[in-house]
Amino acid sequence: MSSQASAALTKEEGLISSQTSMTADLVLEGLHCKDCAASIEKTVAKMVGVEDVMASFTSGKVKITYNPSRVGHPQLVACVENIGYRVAATGHKELGQRPIWRDKAFRFTVVSGLLLGSGLLVRLLTPDSILFSLGRDIPSSALLFLAAAVLGASLFAREGFRAARNLQFNMNFLMTIAVMGALVIGEYIEAASLAFLFSLAELLEGYAVERARNSLRELIKLAPEQATVRRGEKEVLVDVSEISVGELLVVRPGEKIPLDGCVVDGISSVDQSPITGESAPITKEKGAVVYAGSLNNEGYLEIKTTHRSDETILARIIHLVEDAEAQKAPSERFVEKFAKIYTPTIVVMAVLVATLPPLLMQEAFNPWFIKALTLLVIACPCALVISTPVSVVSALTSASRNGVLIKGGLYLEEMASVKTIAFDKTGTLTKGKLEVMEVIALNGAPESEVLQIAAAMERHSEHPIAKAIMERVDAIDLPHAKNFQAIPGKGVTAEIHGQRHAVGKQLLLEELDLDLPEAELERLHREGKTTVLISNTTEVIGIIAVSDQVRSDAKTVISRLRAAGKRVVMLTGDNDSTARSIAKELGVSDYRSNLLPENKVEEIRKLRKLHGNIAMVGDGINDAPALAAANIGIAMGAAGTDTALETADIALMADDISKLPYLVELSRRSAHVIRQNTAVAILLKLLLAVGVFPGIVTLVVAVLIGDMGASLAVTSNAMRLANFNSNS
């Protein structure tokens, strides 16, 4: 392990030594397959003091939760390195880019290939009869094949035997047995070919997984490792991990914002598309929130930090994407169950093939033993078990780059099966900000008086309607309201200029036994406007009509969702007339009105019974119960809301409804790619197994097609998802 990694490990141990349980995040070299990850988990889990361990081959990391009083950090590192992996760093640090020729696996594979090629050349050009011989049955050319086999097998044999000790007969063990078996019966060319080709396949598979990992690495590299901090009168360059909350960052034009914070000075346009997926830069000035990983375009900004480097929105996105492997998709669980049945079945078949024909039918031993070894190679389910995780990681990182955070393959795949999408109206299909659209004065009262009385009585209210009214008047000139009385759910009454006035819903004025302007109210409700009535003790003196404007892109989004085969339902607390008007404007035929938050939960449950899987789209705070009741909860504008990130299964980082069609299409494509990969991997293995018996499939063919070819095929297919974006 490098000195830098050792220092990082020591530092991490010191930072968390005060906790009862500690967590070690180890970045490994060479962790490229599901079996390797499973082997690490089983080996480390046996250590005294280890409480939990999760190895992720898609991120190349191992997360270990342990009791420091029973096991030390260095012991954990030693255990992992004894398995055969180099611990290169901790946390979210990435492996340094080393030249490929410095990689032991690369060097050994190349030399193994050269030895194999030399042996074949000697065998081709020189008859065995004139070669020096080690014995009557072993020509000296076999020395080259033997060396090639030993060198190639050294890359996986140690891990294979260690897996066997843990009663885990993974692909490394099966390949080791196959190479040893071929050597025992004198099939040196087959042994050397198998060792070299499998080592080459592992290299290529590692390269393919690295390509998938690169998309996650791009997220990690978004935020700079250092930042300029103003401390006293000086500006100093500091590692972001050493910056505390409340410090002052200096960000100049063209620099990336290193931490989440609030602008305290300066003005600039900021490209925050890597976090929220918004295509256009956003103007940031004093008081504006900014996110780590965003790019400051042309202005100078001073930013007060609000989160440490491991608590930023970007860090949380990275954590969630890395941990998404734990949220297994149904197809991945199916593949793992299939592999648990398939691999032992083929191994048993290989044993029977090697023993029954020679024993029962007096057949020659060597040909059937070679067929058995070929079956062992085919039994390795490598391509099958990586097909889904690589697809999921590619899709999740594509989504995160487009401002959509999906918390695992489970939700990605379930989204593809959703038939109905329910929307909360306010703040989702509409802008979420009420505006006064009309002021209607009645019974001789001036319009200014209607507004002033309403504002005087609503000036201390936090209700959205009250805020909309206050924006239309000058608060300085408002009359004083006395003997104020709030009537929950209906409105307020108070004395102004010695006369009692009421401001509120139609129901309140009906209870006061006042005549209502039915025609005006009917017209306003038909137009989708919410009404506030103002009265004195004898009559209604005015109506204020407010409305929440529909988002400009909402109708297009709903049209695209319906074109994709999704049923759209709108849920709102508005009265039926208002709900009907907005639904008609949006092109929504199914809506539910007059709903309190608990009513929305009940409606979601009813919709699930009627239409199956359902997704709910809301703001993640007021709509949290309804989001939880749906199969998939989708929160909008989650970048600025910690609650939304925690409660939702899928989060739209920006307050941008247009990402929904992209999400639906990404989930559909992901499900299609996963099905393709699973079908190809299973069918290919079965066809190869059948082809062994007539002699069509040899050891070399099994490795070239069944292992290396299949792994590269499913990985390359999965990588198509990483390039899919919201503009595709």
What are the residue numbers of the active site?
424
Which residues neighbour 629 within 8 Å (Cβ) at sequence distance 6 or greater? 601, 604, 605, 608, 616
Query: What is the C-alpha separation between 649 and 706, in angstroms, rounded?
Result: 37
Give me 203's structure tokens. Answer: 């290299």
For the sheet containing 614-618, what is the strand order? Answer: 404-406, 650-652, 632-636, 614-618, 420-424, 567-571, 590-592
Tokens of 170: 């993974």
* H-state helical runs in 459-549: 464-470, 506-511, 518-526
- The rounded distance, in Å, linking the Cα atoms of 215 and 209 is 11
What residues are paired with 268 via a beta bridge? Answer: 284
In 3-60, where do the E strands start and end?
22-29, 50-56
Which structure tokens are listed for 362? 């007096």
DSSP-assigned letters across all residues of 152-210: HHTTTHHHHHHHHHTT---HHHHHHHHHHHHHHTT-HHHHHHHHHHHHHHHHHHHHHHH
User: In angstroms, rounded to a whole number, what is the distance separating the alpha carbons of residues 343 and 441?
Assistant: 81
CB neighbours of 541 closer than 8 A, spacing ≥ 6?
Answer: 441, 442, 443, 445, 449, 450, 453, 534, 535
Strand partners of residue 594? none
Under a CB-based contact definition with an 8 Å cutoff, are residues 517 and 442 in contact? Answer: yes
Given CA atoms 510, 512, 513, 515 in this order, what sign does their dihedral have? negative
Q: Which one, of 370, 383, 371, 312, lies nearest residue 342 by Cα?
A: 383
DSSP for 393-430, please give it.
HHHHHHHHHTTEEE--HHHHHHHHH--EEEEEIIIIIE
